[in-house]
Amino acid sequence: MCLLFHKVFILHHQLFTMSQSTFHLYDLKIEVINGEKPFVCSHQLGEAFEVRGENLYFKSEIPFSLYALAALLPLLTPKQRPLNHNDWMATDHIVACPDPNCGARFKISRIGKRMYERAATTIVPLPEQNDWTEKE
């Protein structure tokens, strides 16, 4: 009886530890949509790429503007993470082309959610207290 209790305790501890060392990121899709003006750059309506974890996935042989990508990159990692209800990042999903004369817009959508093991993503030890995390 005592051994069974001990095994259940260890299993519970392992599951708790496992849940404490994981986190979720959203998969994103970024696609070209029409704005109110014609495109100036070489964008093609519907061209897209996806973000999964730290990686970008482009459809082979379909180009994506380097300038547009440069403008989008700072927005992608925040949009992969859970966001505060009041954060503008949680509501503003259409981004304009950096060329002010170009009508292209880029729609950022969440298309999935993946769980990651902390140990697979960093070697930095988890601190006991962390002011960077949001309190519930």
Question: By CB under 5 A, is residue 104 in contact with Zn ion?
Answer: yes
Question: By CB under 5 A, is residue 72 in contact with Zn ion?
Answer: no
Question: By CB under 5 A, is residue 102 in contact with Zn ion?
Answer: yes
Q: Which stretch binds Zn ion (CB under 5 A): 15-23, 25-33, 69-77, 93-101?
A: 93-101
CB atoms within 10 A of CB 69: 16
Question: By CB under 5 A, is residue 32 in contact with Zn ion?
Answer: no
CB atoms within 10 A of CB 47: 19
Distance of closest approach, residue 97 Cβ to Zn ion, in angstroms: 3
Question: By CB under 5 A, is residue 41 in contact with Zn ion?
Answer: yes
| Total of chain residues touching Zn ion, rule CB under 5 A | 5
Distance of closest approach, residue 104 Cβ to Zn ion, in angstroms: 4
Question: By CB under 5 A, is residue 96 in contact with Zn ion?
Answer: no
Between strands 105-117 and 94-96, the pairing is antiparallel
Query: DSSP characters for 12-76?
Result: HHHHHHHHHTEEEEEEEEEEEE--SS---SS--TT-EEEEETTEEEEPTT----HHHHHHHHHHH
Q: What is the largest CA-CA distance in the chain?
A: 75
Distance of closest approach, residue 79 Cβ to Zn ion, in angstroms: 20
Question: By CB under 5 A, is residue 97 in contact with Zn ion?
Answer: yes
CB 94 within 8 A of CB 107: yes
Q: Which residues bind Zn ion (CB under 5 A)?
A: 41, 97, 99, 102, 104
